[in-house]
Structure 1
């Protein structure tokens, strides 16, 4: 792993919070993510199941976590099962957790090799009344491939059909949304690395560079500072490409007079940053570009004021829509007549701002949280308004990561250049 060991107290506390929500006499099981084939003899880079990582800190494939607080055998109340390492694996694949390293990382004292899982589970499962199993219930995800958790559920139901099966996901949805101090610090580190990559980009960009050359500068800085890599596939969208919301080709030349829309962030210790910026290729915005930029910036600043403890998701986005509508009218993009004739299903502003303004951020970039749960202290949210004008080959989105606290909001990206004039000054320094 590129990152230093995380304090095991985070995972000890997370397990305690989770088990406090279990019914009496319950056993919960969490599986690591699948390893997905990339080609005939290679897998894609492994990414740990975020729930298992949240509860154990173990960042390795073929891992199982078993939690049974009421187990009559104290040895099996918290158990980790790991892929057994050996000299062959050590030579060909390198580092794998030893049992002692897994104990130190997780705070779990009972660690076994994966081959022991079936026997240990069978020795205790019949003393449990409820079995909590996990699935991906992120409402942005719709599964078609039968991933490991789904296959495991089928296996358990076939083998132990008379137990009462429960869902772990509703518990995890509530827990993961509220970040602890350690999680906040890891997110801050991801944001700090993202800042340095952005400064590097500002000093590198000029007419004639390719979007992928800018992408190379970003990943260089990420890896140089110990980030795992990109939190998500980066968007380097120059000119008309900025009007493609999930543009990932990153293969065009950046031309004089264009604006580049960036959306990228570092992943550090499985925690993510998520930043959007827009910069002029030649180092100077035109007046029109700056007017649109400042309109987006105004919406961003006003949006940050709206979020806090108790904010309701739908109400918040309706308020953001009203702020954006005013800016679009001022820019001459929509008229008061358009606003008057708009429908609730498709407000006039949606023509130029068609996506949501915020999402939760954490171990997942679009982190697991309740869409209908009021915002709470400890939530980290993106704020990311944008205006997209295909007829002008212009798209601008600005995005920072905001921590809600009892004393108000904290912008975790407050030190990343944002004002148009500041961006111009750095590019021309």
Structure 2
């Protein structure tokens, strides 16, 4: 891992929060992700399952965390199982966690090698009445690929059919959505790296550069600042490409007169950042581009103020829709007839702003959170309104990451990035 060591107190607190919400005399199991094959002997780069990382800080494959707060033997209330390391593995694959290093990383005092899991798990299951399985219940989840977790659940249900089954997901959605101070500090590092990359490309962009060249400048800055890389597939979309919400080809040349929509964020210590800026390829917005840009910025500023404790996200999105409707009327993209005749299920503003304004962010770019529950202090949200006008080859989106405060407006984690149209132009031309 490129990132600096994380204070193990974060993972100790996270485990405590989870175990406080478990039912009496139950245990919970969390598995690492697989290393996914491509073909031949090629594999995807390993990405740790965010839940076991959140609860332990372990960032390597073939690891299992077991939590059993009511275990009769105190040493089995928190147990970590790791792939046994040796000199051969160290030479061919690099250093893996030893038992001593695992304690220093996680704060878990009982560490066994993985080949002991079945025996110890069986002993603990004879004592437990129920088990928490860690299923993926994110609203956007794509669960077609079978995971290590899936195989464990299938095998365990078959072997222990009489045990009560519980879900880890509701607990994790609740506790992961409210960030600890250590997490916020890590996320700020991710945002700071993103800021450095953005400032770098503002000096690089000019008519004639290619979208993928901008992407290359970004990843250069990320890696040299200890980032794991992109938190998600970057969008570098010039001209009409910006009207494709998930444009990721990044293979076109940026032309004089284009606005380039750039949606990217650094990942640091598995935590994500997520920002979007829309800048003129030639360093100057046209009057029309500036008008649309300022309309999006006005919506963003007003929407941010709504991200306060007690707000319900569905209601928040409705309010942001009203703000956008007002701006689209001013831009003459909508008229009063459009509003009068609109479908309440798909309001008129959706023609130009068809996505949501905010989502949780943390260990995942679209992080855990319960959207039917009110916003709480300590949650982190994006705020990303946009206007997309294919007929004008123009798409503008602006996005920052915001920490919800106990009172008042949220704290912006990306205040160092040029945002006002004049600031963008001044920076590009300085």
TM (norm. structure 1) is 0.99
Match in the other structure for 2:169: 169
Match in the other structure for 1:395: 395
For 2:417 and 2:95, how far apart are their aligned partners in 1?
Answer: 35
Q: Does 1:315 align with 2:315?
A: yes
Match in the other structure for 1:202: 202
For 1:124 and 1:345, how far apart are their aligned partners in 2?
Answer: 51
Shift of 1:33: 1.1
Match in the other structure for 2:414: 413
Q: Does 1:385 align with 2:394?
A: no
Where 1:158 maps in the other structure, the secondary structure is helix
Match in the other structure for 1:48: 48
For 2:291 and 2:45, how far apart are their aligned partners in 1?
Answer: 42
Deviation larger for 195-204 or 87-96: 87-96
Where 1:162 maps in the other structure, the secondary structure is coil
For 2:301 and 2:384, how far apart are their aligned partners in 1?
Answer: 10
The answer for unaligned runs of 5 or more in structure 2 is none
8 Å contact from structure 2 (residues 265, 275) kept in 1: yes
Where 2:250 maps in the other structure, the secondary structure is coil
Q: Does 1:422 align with 2:423?
A: yes
Shift of 1:286: 0.5
For 1:173 and 1:193, how far apart are their aligned partners in 2?
Answer: 27
Q: Does 1:142 align with 2:142?
A: yes
Shift of 1:166: 0.5
Q: Say what the alpha-carbon RMSD is for the aligned residues.
A: 0.8
Match in the other structure for 1:342: 342
Where 1:334 maps in the other structure, the secondary structure is coil
Match in the other structure for 1:94: 94
For 2:372 and 2:417, how far apart are their aligned partners in 1?
Answer: 31
Shift of 1:38: 2.1
8 Å contact from structure 2 (residues 62, 83) kept in 1: yes
Shift of 1:39: 2.5
Deviation digits for residues 150-192 of structure 1, max 9, x if unmatched?
1111100111111111101110010000001000001111000
Q: Does 1:304 align with 2:304?
A: yes
For 1:59 and 1:405, how far apart are their aligned partners in 2?
Answer: 30
Q: Does 1:228 align with 2:228?
A: yes
Shift of 1:142: 3.0
Where 1:405 maps in the other structure, the secondary structure is coil
Where 1:38 maps in the other structure, the secondary structure is strand
Shift of 1:407: 2.9
Shift of 1:339: 0.6
Deviation digits for residues 62-109 of structure 1, max 9, x if unmatched?
110001111112221111011111222111111211111111000001
For 2:67 and 2:283, how far apart are their aligned partners in 1?
Answer: 56
Shift of 1:287: 0.5
For 2:315 and 2:124, how far apart are their aligned partners in 1?
Answer: 48
For 2:342 and 2:306, how far apart are their aligned partners in 1?
Answer: 24
Shift of 1:125: 1.0
Match in the other structure for 1:291: 291
Deviation larger for 87-96 or 338-347: 87-96
Where 1:166 maps in the other structure, the secondary structure is strand
Match in the other structure for 1:261: 261
For 1:124 and 1:328, how far apart are their aligned partners in 2?
Answer: 61
Match in the other structure for 1:219: 219
Match in the other structure for 1:124: 124
Shift of 1:32: 0.7
Shift of 1:307: 1.2
The answer for unaligned runs of 5 or more in structure 1 is none
Q: After the TM superposition, which residues 107-118 of structure 1 pair with which residues of structure 2 at under 5 Å, given as runs?
A: 107-118=107-118
Deviation larger for 215-224 or 35-44: 35-44
Number of matched pairs? 429
For 2:97 and 2:279, how far apart are their aligned partners in 1?
Answer: 44
For 2:124 and 2:381, how far apart are their aligned partners in 1?
Answer: 41
Shift of 1:121: 0.6
